[in-house]
């Protein structure tokens, strides 16, 4: 019952308010079925576990993860002594923590170079919100006192450079560009030169969302990373994969090419406010063992949050927690 009690604290609930508001669709969508399931079932039966499995698959947690989740739930010693289905709620939440944490301390913070330039590389398919995500993170880091520069490394998609310039302007951060069709590595190189000369703290690098083959993608990313590592030892500090939460399991399948092509160190989950499912956080972590670094909970420049597992779980179960 510990987690339920954490958010009885008004200050804790207030800190998680953005998650509660931003995840309303998921909470009132698939996850509302949990509440109904517990209210109509008194006994813990095999049929109850089957319905739980169905709900979690619908919530985009992923079939393999859900099967493992339900098997572990059934085998949990705490379940054997329960007299009502509703008593399963805190155990289910504990299991969600277990899926994400995997018995580890998960660092969801960006890796920083304390005494020099920190470089972050953004990868992901076209249409996931990569450009707006870069602007949101630029805005967030700028408000934290960092001097931020952006590199328009997606030189292949029509309009990508202009779009990033517009968003950079909104965030108040300059964007280094070259003409459409330029070598992306040359853009990144030029941006690094500017960042060093003008003593920027952070460089955010956009990359192409699609190349004809996985081999092309791997070669392009390898070339970019080689340039970065040569000019800024130890960089990039993070390679961030941007995934659209509303695309669910299809989004994960699209992202696999990037996971295979480069060393992804974190995920930015966009449009989490736009999905009625919301379980994709657990699917990503369980399937790829990659931490979520940021979640986007709206369209405004400020609608991005560092990922917090407790607040995320609260966003999914706020009504159930408030009832306890």
Q: Any idea where the domains of the chain sit in the sequence?
A: 2-106+314-323, 118-307
The CATH T-level fold of domain 118-307 is Rossmann fold (3.40.50)
Which residue's structure tokens are 């999914």? 316
| pLDDT, tens digit, 9 for 90 and up, residues 40-85 | 878 899 999 999 999 999 999 999 999 999 999 999 999 988 888 8
Q: Which residues pair with 205 in a beta bridge?
A: 121, 151
Residues in the chain with pLDDT values less than 70: 1-2, 4, 322-324
Q: Tell me, what's the pLDDT at 63?
A: 94
Sequence-ordered list of residues with C-beta below 8 angstroms from that of 168, at least 6 positions apart, any chain: 135, 138, 150, 174, 175
Phi and psi torsions of 286, nearest 5°? -70, -40
Q: Which pLDDT value is given to residue 319?
A: 77
* pTM for this model (two decimals): 0.94
pLDDT tens-place string over residues 140-184: 999 999 999 999 999 999 999 999 999 999 999 999 999 999 999
**Concatenated DSSP letters for 268-307?**
EEE-GGG-S--THHHHHHHHH---EEEEE-SSSTT-EEE-
């Amino acid at each position: 019952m510990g987690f339920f009690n954490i958010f009885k604290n008004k200050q804790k609930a207030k800190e998680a308010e953005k998650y509660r508001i931003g995840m309303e669709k998921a909470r009132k969508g698939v996850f509302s079925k949990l509440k109904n399931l517990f209210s109509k079932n008194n006994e813990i039966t095999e049929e109850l576990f089957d319905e739980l499995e169905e709900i979690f698959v619908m919530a985009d947690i992923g079939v393999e993860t859900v099967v493992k989740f339900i098997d572990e739930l059934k085998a949990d010693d705490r379940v054997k002594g329960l007299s009502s289905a509703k008593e399963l709620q805190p155990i289910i939440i504990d299991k969600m923590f277990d899926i994400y944490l995997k018995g580890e301390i998960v660092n969801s913070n960006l890796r920083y170079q304390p005494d020099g330039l920190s470089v972050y590389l953004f990868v992901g398919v076209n249409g996931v919100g990569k450009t707006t995500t870069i602007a949101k993170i630029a805005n967030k880091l700028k408000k934290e006192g960092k001097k931020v520069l952006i590199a328009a490394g997606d030189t292949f998609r029509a309009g990508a450079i202009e779009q990033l310039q517009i968003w950079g302007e909104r965030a108040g951060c300059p964007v280094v560009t070259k003409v459409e069709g330029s070598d992306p590595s040359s853009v990144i190189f030029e941006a690094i030169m500017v960042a060093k000369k003008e003593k920027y703290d952070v460089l955010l690098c956009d990359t192409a969302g699609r190349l004809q083959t996985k081999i092309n993608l791997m070669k392009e990313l390898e070339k970019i990373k080689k340039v970065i590592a040569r000019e800024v030892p130890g960089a990039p500090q993070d390679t961030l994969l941007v995934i659209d939460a509303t695309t669910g399991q299809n989004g994960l399948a699209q992202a696999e090419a990037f996971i295979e092509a480069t060393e992804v160190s974190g995920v930015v989950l966009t449009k989490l406010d736009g999905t009625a499912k919301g379980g994709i956080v657990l699917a990503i972590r369980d399937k790829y063992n990659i931490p979520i670094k940021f979640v986007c909970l709206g369209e405004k420049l400020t609608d991005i949050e560092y990922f917090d597992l407790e607040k995320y779980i609260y966003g999914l179960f706020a009504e159930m927690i408030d009832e306890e």
